[in-house]
Structure 1
Amino acid sequence: MRTTNVPGRKGRFRRTAIFFGAALLLAAPVQAQPEKTPPRQPNIVILLADDWGFTDVGAFGAEFATPHLDALAYAGTRFTNFHVAGSCSPTRAMLQTGVMNHRNGLGNMPETIPDEHRGKPGYDTVMNHRVVTIAQLLKAAGYRTYFTGKWHLGSDAARLPHARGYDRAYSLADAGADNFEQRPIEGLYDTAAWTENGKPATLPKDYYSSRFVVQKMIDYVEADRASGKPFLASINFLANHIPVQAPDSDIARYAALYHDGWTALRQVRAKRAAALGIVPAGVPIVTMPTTADWQKLDADERAAAVRVMQAYAGMATAMDREVGRLVAHLKATGDYDNTIFVFLSDNGAEPTNPFGSLRNRLFLDMQYDLSTANIGRRGSFSAIGPGWASAAASPLSGYKFSATEGGLRVPLIVTWPGNKQVQAGAIRHGLAHVTDILPTLTELAGVAGHGGRWQGKDVEPVTGRSLVPMLTGATDSVHGDTPLGYELSGNAALFKGDYKLVRNLAPTGDGKWRLFDLKSDPGETRDLAAAQPERFAAMLADYRAYAKANGVLAMPAGYTANEQINAYAWQQQGRKRAIKAALWLGGGLLALALLIWGWRRRKRVVS
């Protein structure tokens, strides 16, 4: 009789196999799961333009071509209310340290400081040793650190970038230099003070500034690639500082533009910026008192003015092309997605007219080919002047050196292509400041700050705030209603929420304080001081507290930055002439002494 509930031979074998298999699995040692490799810290590329106005990028309203900067802008976040200093060195020191300029030593620049202020606390005219640079912080955290281009924060061995945290550095210690050859700005400096790793350097024969600083940076990055460490690459362009110079093909590209003049361009830029969402539509704009009437210029004046703006546009496009070459290289090496890009300008566009006095014109005419056909080319010396500088800042008022929005507000782009916390295509209108860059980058990189103490000594604490909440979209402002003060060369401002208290000396102002609502009036056209006396008084008290805490000094009567630069230049020329005269006189006296000695010797021999 067959019993169906009794297991057969095959069933018993199957169950036995399962039993022993399970026992073996339980007895076997557990294999450790491989640990996930933590993502490498991001590379950081800082692209610092020189003297670019608020709308001097296509993504902010420019008519000239900046496709590679535009691509970074649309892949990341644009800041429309970002502020720097009114001239280069103070901005550069704040960018490097996250510390306000009177605390980091750049209460003024060597070229613009009055003699009465030299050596006073905060007026070192160089970046002092009480601050820690971003290169020092990142290097201590395992980064490779590189610097190329304009430094202008000190020229002695202890203050050049190689001594301030940069592993490799090819830098210019001066405010500017020629873009085609190793030549200084004649009249301002004796030499073009380029150094590599702290030692005097010689530029190559095929040198063009934008191409060179990018290629040198690529060389540095590749030289140490085997280390596997992330890198900080600080690329500091000479474009578009005086002298405005560009390759011929880049100038020729804009032959059809700028014939309608600066006032027309100012209107066009304002409309384009509004269409891009950079500023509100229909914001009122002012005409600066230093802007000449285009229609009253004669034909030769207009031709020269058109040509210099074409060269300015060409110079910007040439710089942008080099940014594109760097980006292409980082894509080819696989670094692009894990690289944070930061683009900004050090101040607004340069209004100085170097030919404003007959003395300057005669001197420059002896040093350069100033013909209209040569503007922007090798051997030229040119500047866009206040008319085009005002257009470059449109729709803002003012330009470089002043505390107007055109002097202090510049484009800022922050992009991290492979990290979605930095929103693509976003535009942020909240207040941001150049001191915010360092804490932003250290937070994104996961690098600790110094908290006011570094390598066993007290240092100036970082005053900036991280912009990460703005980059992620968590907020449109990290400063809120906290007062943020500023002063340089007597031009001063205090920001508080949407409001700005501002004072400008001549030639862009009259020394009086004014109050503006920047949200509705970024062009600073409606003074609210009388209409809002309580706010005006409170903000003035805030500014005075800032000035006292930062050791801000009052400027001598009649001071202007423009006149001080001219005085500095002629002092330099006087010093050079004195040295030449001394050498000539010394040589003459030596020759006379030798002549007398020889005559006496011959006389003794004869006798």
Structure 2
Amino acid sequence: MKRLGTSALAAALLLAPAQAAPPPPNAAAKRPNVVILLADDWGFSDVGAFGAEFATPNIDALAYAGMRFSNFHVAGSCSPTRAMLQTGVMNHRNGLGNMPETIPDAHRGKPGYDTVMNHRVVTIAELFGAAGYRTYLTGKWHLGSDATRLPEARGYDRAFSLADAGADNFEQRPIEGMYDTAAWTENGRPSTLPKDFYSSTFVVQKMIDYIDADRASGKPFLASTNFLANHIPIQAPDSDIARYSAMYQDGWTRLREARAKRAAALGIVPAGAPMVTMATTPDWAKQSEEERAAAVRVMQAYAGMATAMDREVGRLIAHLKATGQYENTIFVFLSDNGAEPTDPFHSLRNRLFLDMQYDLSTANIGRRGSFGAIGPGWASAGASPLSGYKFSAAEGGLRVPLIVTWPGNKTIRAGAVNGGLAHVTDILPTLAELAGVADHGGSWKGKAVEPVTGRSLVPMLGGTAGSVHGDDPLGYELSGNSALFRGDYKLVRNLAPTGDGKWRLYDLKSDPGETKDLSGTEPARFEAMMADYRAYAKDNGVLDMPAGYTADEQINQYAWEQQGKKRAIKAGLWLGGGIAVLAGLIWGWRRRRRALRAASGGV
């Protein structure tokens, strides 16, 4: 990635087919601010501008003022995506070959399987900070919790972050069973949340506070804003849930179909693109009245949670407008993976445990003290019209909405939808080019580091047709679910429970829903892409998964191991306390006995 200022960028874009207009005269002199808005577990059509029925007017406004990418890919779960976003480096090379919650024991400690972002990569905060930017992060981090791996140790001037995968949205409480505490820190020190805490409100308010605190410096800022919405537990303010009280009565299949039609009408997917019904989607008609009532309520809460987050995005935008910073700010909105299908209540053991920790009544779903999850039914609607969801390598797990907007600069085609292949590693080099920030070139502070593997999307932002990746292969693997993209085609394999371990080939341009396997009709392409995948796996140190592995079961095992450790600690404290008391009694008895002997002359 070479350094390219906005003036040079504009000149380059004049050569593109879109004939983009040059930026304002002062744009080169004043570098842009950057705001990254990272949603958690939002599916492909979980934004109004991508087909959602719930209200996201502020995110939609960014979409129509800038460019929507309809063929943008991330990892199938959160921290691998976050590490690639932070570094522009593929996940096995940045340390997130797998997450701590999903890695099998056999892979722990292997190269590329650090389960935290390693020290062989440079973050976007380090890169922009070295170029004179103020750098801030608020919200979910999940890339390491020790003193050398928290955000302020990785280039952020100010950071209020959560080290875990998720936490309660109304109080300083962990996901019970997964973590002992909600690991919130500010600038590396444990911090206490306010009593009126709600996650989306807090994450934005902290970012506003950070931006304002240093505004007098005159320096541009990089603001990484990382929401907990809509990660489990699904929770939202009562008024936001009530807004959707008349909706979702017809179930997830009807919603999936309605979203597919809206996405096609918006130009996000081809009209008439085929769509599968996923095997894991329950039959709405076979749900009991009680089950349907709970399902309707959790989707109302999910919609409310998304709308509450969107409102906070609007509050941040309004503040930047009021302070004169909006026009020269680049906004990037994306989700870290597809919709979350996990059903925490799938086993009696889980249900009984959670029932002891939370109020699981239908009336309380989404409120303080609740623990809700949309499950595979509503997740199929969130992924619509794609197949699969979070954790899988199907499009529903990897393809998410991406919006890039620069309100005061005309280099981005307003209102356009770009269908070219794009990847999360492309975000860092794109922002660096737009901001005139130089790449580290594989060397940082005198030592070799992993080079940026992503490619700048600037030509696509200017209207160039196709993808900056051209026909070059782009590999992916996480928890044994694997893919290889090349041009319009995708080679993919999913392990159980979302797949059968068989490799398949799809033409994503005409079949984004992955309904027609071409491996038998295009054997030459299939074999060539298999060779590409093997080369990717070798170059990135990808390990085969142990027999019988599934991410779902590994998460459950992790949770119950954590509970076992807690019980062992409690038992140890009890036993240790008992031993201490017994030792004290023995010591006292012996002391008394010696005293009595001394008093009697040693007899």
Decide: shared fold, TM above 0.5.
Answer: yes
The corresponding residue for 1:281 is 271
Cα deviation for residue 287 of structure 1 reads 1.1
Deviation at 1:475, TM superposition (A): 2.9
* Deviations, residues 463-504 of structure 1 (Å, cap 9, x unaligned): 000000000012331111100000000000000000000000
**Alignment match, 1:76:** 66
Partner deviation per Cα, 1:48-92 (whole Å, 9 max, x = no partner): 000000000000000000000000000000000000000000000
Q: Does 1:156 align with 2:146?
A: yes
2:560 alignment partner, one of 563, 570, 584: 570
**Residue pairs, 1:135-174, within 5 angstroms:** 135-174=125-164
Name whichever of 197-206 and 42-51 sits farther off: 197-206
- Tell me which amino acid in the other structure corresponds to 2:444: W
Please say if 1:346 is aligned against 2:333: no
2: CA distance between counterparts of 1:212 and 1:165? 22
Q: Match of 2:274, as an amino acid?
A: P
1:368 aligns with 2:358: yes
Task: For 1:38 and 1:411, locate their aligned partners in 2 and report how far apart those are by CA, in whole Å.
Answer: 29
Q: Distance in 1 between matches of 2:348 and 2:535?
A: 43
User: Who is 1:95 aligned against?
Assistant: 85
**SS in structure 1 of the partner of residue 477 of structure 2:** strand
Q: Output the CA distance in 1 between the equivalents of 2:294 and 2:522.
A: 45
For residues 296-315 of structure 1, what are the alpha-carbon distances to aligned partners after superposition, in whole Å with 9 as ceiling and x for unaligned? 00000000000000000000
What's the TM-score once normalised by structure 2's chain length? 0.94
Alignment CA distance shift 1:36-1:180 (3 Å):
closer
- Unaligned 5+ segments in structure 2 are 1-24, 598-603
Q: Is residue 2:483 matched to residue 1:510? A: no
Cα distance in structure 1, aligned partners of 2:450 and 2:578: 53
Following superposition, the deviation at residue 605 of structure 1 comes to 3.9
Counterpart of 2:176 (choices 164, 183, 186) is 186
Distance 2:156 2:330 in 1: 18
Please name the residue that 1:14 is paired with.
none
Structure 2 SS opposite 1:336? coil
Q: 1:294 aligns with which of 284, 300, 323?
A: 284
The answer to whether the aligner puts 1:431 opposite 2:421 as a matched pair is yes
CA distance in 1, matches of 2:425, 2:518: 28
Q: Which residue in 2 is equivalent to 1:259?
A: 249
Pick 1 or 2: higher relative contact order, CA cutoff 8 A, min separation 6.
Answer: 2
**Aligned ranges 1:16-27 → 2 under 5 Å:** none
Q: Tell me how far 1:601 sits from its aligned partner.
A: 3.1
Distance 1:501 1:90 in 2: 20
- 5 Å-filtered alignment, 1:406-421, equals 406-421=396-411
Deviation at 1:185, TM superposition (A): 0.3
* 1:475 alignment partner, one of 443, 450, 465: 465
In the alignment, which of 591, 595, 601 is matched to residue 581 of structure 2? 591
CA distance in 2, matches of 1:596, 1:260: 71
Query: 1:289: Cα distance to partner?
Result: 1.0
Give the superposition deviation at 1:423.
Answer: 1.0
Letter in 1 for 2:242: A
Partner of 2:569: 579
Change (3 A) 1:303 1:510: same
Q: CA deviation at 1:333?
A: 0.5
Please give the residue correspondences for 1:220-235 in structure 2 after superposition, counting only pairs within 5 Å: 220-235=210-225
One-letter identity of the residue aligned with 1:121: P
Structure-2 residue corresponding to 1:15: none
In the aligned structure 2, how far is the partner of 1:476 from the partner of 1:61? 23
Matched AA of 2:467:
S
Q: Is 1:107 the counterpart of 2:110 in the alignment?
A: no
1:597 is displaced (CA, Å) by 2.2
Distance in 1 separating the partners of 2:280 and 2:588: 64
Alpha-carbon deviations, 1:105-154, whole Å to 9, x = none?
Answer: 00000000000000000000000010000000100000000000000000
Specify the alignment match of 2:234 in structure 1: 244
Ranges in structure 1 where 5+ consecutive residues have no aligned partner? 1-34
Aligned to 2:317: 327
CA distance in 2, matches of 1:36, 1:320: 31
Deviations 1:517-569 (A, max 9, x none): 00010000000000100000000000000000000000000000000000000
Counterpart secondary structure, 1:235: strand
After superposition, residues 509-548 of structure 1 pair within 5 angstroms as 509-548=499-538
* Aligned match of 2:295: 305
The structure-2 alpha-carbon separation of the partners of 1:36 and 1:411, relative to structure 1 and needing over 3 Å to count, comes to: closer
Letter in 2 for 1:214: V
Q: Secondary structure at the match of 1:418?
A: coil
For residue 397 of structure 1, what is the aligned residue in structure 2? 387
Measure, in 1, the Cα distance between the counterparts of 2:151 and 2:187: 8
Residue 37 of structure 1 deviates from its aligned partner by 9.5
SS at match of 2:330: strand
C-alpha deviation, 1:599, in angstroms: 2.8
Give, in angstroms, the shift of residue 606 of structure 1.
4.4
Take 1:139 and 1:428, find their aligned partners in 2: how far apart are those partners? 30
Structure 2 residue corresponding to 1:52, chosen from 39, 42, 49: 42
1:165-201 Cα deviation digits (max 9, x unpaired) = 0000000000000000000000000000000011111
User: Deviation of residue 36 (structure 1)?
Assistant: 7.9
Aligned equivalents of 1:61 and 1:597: distance in 2?
A: 74
Given residue 271 of structure 1, which amino acid in structure 2 is its aligned partner?
Answer: K
Alignment root-mean-square deviation, CA: 1.0
Distance 1:179 1:232 in 2: 25
Q: Which residue of 2 aligns with 1:13?
A: none
Task: Please name the residue that 2:20 is paired with.
Answer: none
Query: Aligned pair in 2 of structure 1 residues 302, 38: CA closer, same or farther (>3 Å)?
Result: closer
Counterpart of 2:6?
A: none
For 1:350, the aligned partner's letter is E
Separation in 2 of the partners of 1:545 and 1:44? 35
**Distance in 2 between the 1:481 and 1:38 partners?**
33
1:555 aligns with 2:518: no
SS of equivalent residue, structure 2 residue 137: strand
Residue type at the aligned position of 1:587: G
Amino acid of the structure 2 residue aligned with 1:353: D
SS of the residue corresponding to residue 454 of structure 2 reads coil
Q: Secondary structure at the match of 2:135?
A: strand
1:86 partnered with 2:70: no
d(CA) in 2 for partners of 1:561, 1:304 = 26
2:10 corresponds to: none
Q: Measure the CA separation in 1 of the matches of 2:410 and 2:465.
A: 16
Separation in 2 of the partners of 1:504 and 1:321? 36
- Please give the alpha-carbon distance, in whole angstroms, between the structure 2 residues aligned to 1:524 and 1:475: 23
CA–CA separation in structure 2 for the residues paired with 1:390 and 1:59: 18
**Percent of residue pairs bearing the same amino acid type:** 83
Pairing 1:209-220 to 2, within 5 Å after superposition: 209-220=199-210
In the alignment, the residues of structure 2 paired with residue 389 and residue 409 of structure 1 have an alpha-carbon distance, to the nearest angstrom, of: 14
Q: Which residue of 1 aligns with 2:123?
A: 133
> Offset of 1:604 from its aligned partner?
3.9
> What's the TM-score, normalizing by structure 1?
0.94
Give distance in 1, aligned partners of 2:343 and 2:52.
22
- The letter of the residue matching 1:480 is G
2:248 aligned counterpart, secondary structure: coil
2:492 corresponds to which letter in structure 1? V
| Alpha-carbon distance between aligned partners in 1 of 2:264 and 2:466, rounded to the nearest angstrom | 19
